[in-house]
Structure 1
Amino acid sequence: MGLSTLTYLFEGEIEHRDSTGAQQIITPGDVGFMTSGSGVTHTERTPKESRNKTKHTLHGYQIWVALPIAKEEMNPRFDFYPKEAIPTWEKNNVKMKLVAGNAFGKSSPLQGYSPLFMVDIFAKEETTLQLGGQVKGEIAFVIVKGSIKTQDQRVEAGQMLISKTDDACEICLEKHTQILLFGGKPLPEERILMWNFVSHNKERLLKAKEGWKNKKFPKVPNDNTYIPFPELKNK
């Protein structure tokens, strides 16, 4: 409730199903964008044909994006963008894929509901990447593999670096480094997170909690699984 989830894979595949009736297998390079709005239920599972394999590697990221107040109660929906629809280009031995939003003078078909960006960047050689004027808002650097250097700080694979402004003008990527660059303009109001629910209004979150506990949310077609609301215990 109150958010969108952006799913982007590097390896493996997952089958997304939700209460809007959407059913989609997401593979590396594809983008799944589920908007919960007023409320949605969903599952993300290994596709049946892959479950009997001795090894199944899944590597990717799912970014939660809070909805603007005017969209918090919108009808839920699922949007899918195959890898072929994602803008891809190469310059100075750096390959880029614009997963979402606007960056580097280009636009992705996935725009979302607030100013944002996500770029998959792979450096074939050691490269200094200029960011000044290329992205707007807060920036997160997720190092998928390799390492980066910025402002005398070295950040290795599996870590994330966050800049609260878009003043970070350049980063140095070592050879064969891959990063996800994502962020955007922050929403003007504070958001509250309660389990899988997001809202600017605490009372709305409590209402959603009771609705979930009483199984009032829509169901995924032909799926009766249910995860109880996690209750915090006082120590």
Structure 2
Amino acid sequence: MSNIQLIIEERPADIGHFLVGRLLPFRERRMVGPFIFIDHMGPAQMSDHQNLDVGPHPHIGLSTLTYLFEGNVTHHDTLGTNVEIQPGQVNWMTAGKGIVHSERTPERFRHSDKVLHGLQIWVALPRELEQMDPTFFHAEGDTIPSWEEGGVHYKLVAGEVKGHRSPVPVYSRLYLLELKNKERQTISLGKDLYGDVGMYILEGSVESEGNVYEPRRILVAKNSQLCDFVMGEHTTVYIFGGEPFPEPRHIYWNFVASDMALIEKAKEDWVARRFPLLPNEPDIVPLPPEHPSLRQKA
């Protein structure tokens, strides 16, 4: 990628069940376009007695995007959604003024060895939609636009780019584009991108301006119009970004807002059990103790 502004390497983060690779937010770059949080989950090898069990927890002010490479996760939320996400599908949950959900290993896999590998992404909402009613959308893999171009396979997970539009109902101008190749290829995307742009290298390598970049890091460009790079053999990257918001965002735990007062109210409501709750799921995730790393401004 030409004119690289910043390199963000994965940092280990304990989410209470296993370690993930935390990418955003980063101390020198809190957001890329509307993207405010990215975790690389796994690949986690889980035995027949190990399962993902993230109990009921709240969100406000954002949309979550779950995209799996391997494994299966059951999503259950207070809208009544109970769906299993599989590799290649997209779960898009918009919290708006507030939603509660859990994420667990599906029952049919709980007593067998398994792998969990994917991306967990948060996209901040425009200020005027932060208090919208919550919604949920599930996209089957065969509904996601994909095409071949110059020996590279493209898949548009979310947003709009290169004349294609994903069915995922986003609320601002953005894109999350997967590129895969088998042979070394030169890529030029400058004329197709807009706003901020970042690239996550999942596997393989990327070359730019004489430098070679390995997996598990984000490259952030200074200018989206100069997004040229070389993909090494058998490489997978994710190009993401879009139009940044005019005002900053606060992030605390699972809450995102342009006004800190909304986050303070959400904290109080969660402690007082004023959020809706999921039936038959008593393992509610408590509000974490006050800690500077949980209160950030993006």
Q: TM-score, normalised by structure 1?
A: 0.95
Is 1:26 aligned with 2:85? Answer: yes
Q: What SS is found at the alignment partner of 1:49?
A: helix
Quick check: 67-76 or 148-157, which moved more? 148-157
Q: Give the Cα–Cα distance (whole angstroms) in 1 for the partners of residues 61 and 247 of structure 2.
A: 13
Report the counterpart of residue 26 of structure 2 in structure 1.
none
Aligned partners of 1:169, 1:144: CA distance in 2, in Å?
18
1:126 aligns to 2:184 (yes or no) = yes
TM-score, length basis structure 2: 0.76
The change in CA–CA distance for 1:221 and 1:15 in structure 2 (over 3 A counts) is: same
Q: After TM superposition, give the deviation of residue 181 of structure 1 in Å.
A: 1.1
What displacement does 1:111 show? 3.9
Q: Distance in 1 between matches of 2:140 and 2:221?
A: 30
Offset at residue 49 of structure 1 (A):
0.6
Higher relative contact order (CA 8 A, sep 6+): 2
Residues in 2 aligned to 1:72 and 1:206: alpha-carbon distance in whole angstroms: 15
Distance 1:90 1:226, change over 3 A: same
How many residues are matched?
A: 233
Cα distance in 1 between the residues matched to 2:222 and 2:237: 18
What does the per-residue CA deviation read over 1:15-65, in whole Å, with 9 as the maximum and x for residues that have no partner? 111111111111111000000001111111111111111x21111101110
Identity %: 41
Instruction: Give the CA deviation at 1:149.
Output: 1.3
1:167-206 → structure 2 map (5 Å cutoff): 167-206=225-264
What residue in structure 1 maps to residue 107 of structure 2? 48
In 2, distance between residues paired with 1:222 and 1:172? 51
The answer as to whether partners of 2:221 and 2:227 remain within 8 angstroms in 1 is no
Q: Indicate if the aligned counterparts of 2:96 and 2:132 stay in contact, CA closer than 8 A.
A: yes
1:229 match: 287
- Aligned CA distance change for structure 1 residues 214 and 164 (closer, same or farther; 3 Å): farther
| Bigger mean CA offset, 200-209 vs 160-169 | 160-169
Q: Which runs of 5+ in 1 are unaligned?
A: none
1:17 counterpart residue number: 76
1:110 to 140, 154, 168: 168
Q: Does the 8 Å CA contact 2:101/2:278 hold for their aligned counterparts? A: yes
Q: CA deviation at 1:162?
A: 1.4
Q: What is the letter of the counterpart of residue 158 of structure 2?
A: A
Distance 2:80 2:221 in 1: 38
Matches within 5 A, 1:82-101: 82-101=140-159
Choose from 188, 198, 201 the match for 1:143.
201
Higher strand share: 2
CA-CA distance at 1:182 after TM superposition: 1.0
Name the SS of the counterpart of 1:204 in structure 2. Answer: helix
What does 1:63-74 align with in structure 2 at a 5 Å threshold? 63-74=121-132
5+ residue gaps, structure 2 = 1-59, 293-298
Q: Match of 2:151, as an amino acid?
A: N
Check conservation: 1:101, 1:112, Cα contact below 8 A.
Answer: yes
Structure 2 SS opposite 1:43: strand
Q: Which amino acid aligns with 1:125?
A: E
